[in-house]
Chain A
Amino acid sequence: AQSVTQPDIHITVSEGASLELRCNYSYGATPYLFWYVQSPGQGLQLLLKYFSGDTLVQGIKGFEAEFKRSQSSFNLRKPSVHWSDAAEYFCAVGSYTGTASKLTFGTGTRLQVTL
């Protein structure tokens, strides 16, 4: 069965500093990988996704992620963090069997941004 590990529960960075959130996955086939962001009281918003092609994926709000098959990783990065980026970030792997489709999420990383 697929699984996702986000090893960092909580990360604090200063505004303007760079950010990297780690994600490792376990999946038997070529994975579909997603990063979502969740602000308090809000639903999940898609930042970016990978399903084939270029392993460096660009997303919204200046985020990018790199798929590394050899490391089973899909880390999220941003070169300069803004205070509004403070939120919970979830990595997920999508699976589809022809009749069933679902996302398996990690436990999330809470990002705090200091001014």
Chain B
Amino acid sequence: GAGVSQSPRYKVAKRGQDVALRCDPISGHVSLFWYQQALGQGPEFLTYFQNEAQLDKSGLPSDRFFAERPEGSVSTLKIQRTQQEDSAVYLCASSLAAGGSDTQYFGPGTRLTVL
């Protein structure tokens, strides 16, 4: 079946603009994750959903970052008033269940560049 998809693949924003990044997880997957990958670094956890419930948002760097998954499938990561330090690749992942050993399947990411 189809894997995790993300859109757009590339986004250029001027500093101060709001952006919205979309993630379509694998159908039927309970868990959904967002990660931020800065250039030359490993991905860093942002937030976690179990169905529509956001159970962990401890990794969101500021209150400018907001994520939702209203129907327990598609998720949107929104960044308000973007700043240059927000430039990164944003990765979405999903897993079938909700355990720590479950495989997370990653999308190709959205590369955000803030000018």
Contacts and interface: CB of A to CB of B under 8 A. Distances in A.
A44 B31 contact: no
A43 B6 CA distance: 10
B62 interface: no
Which of the four size classes fits the interface of chain B?
20 to 34
B100 A101 contact: yes
A32 B101 contact: yes
A100 B108 contact: no
A46 to B, nearest CB: 6
B31 A101 contact: yes
Interface residues of A, number: 28
B4 interface: yes
Interface in A22-78: 32, 34, 36, 41-46, 49, 51-52
Contacts of A41: 108
Given A42-B108, A101-B31, A105-B44, 5 more contacts: A46-B105, A51-B100, A90-B42, A95-B100, A101-B98
Interface of A: 4, 32, 34, 36, 41-46, 49, 51-52, 90, 92, 94-96, 99-108
Interface of B: 3-4, 31, 33, 35, 40-45, 48, 50, 55-56, 58-59, 91, 93, 95, 98-109
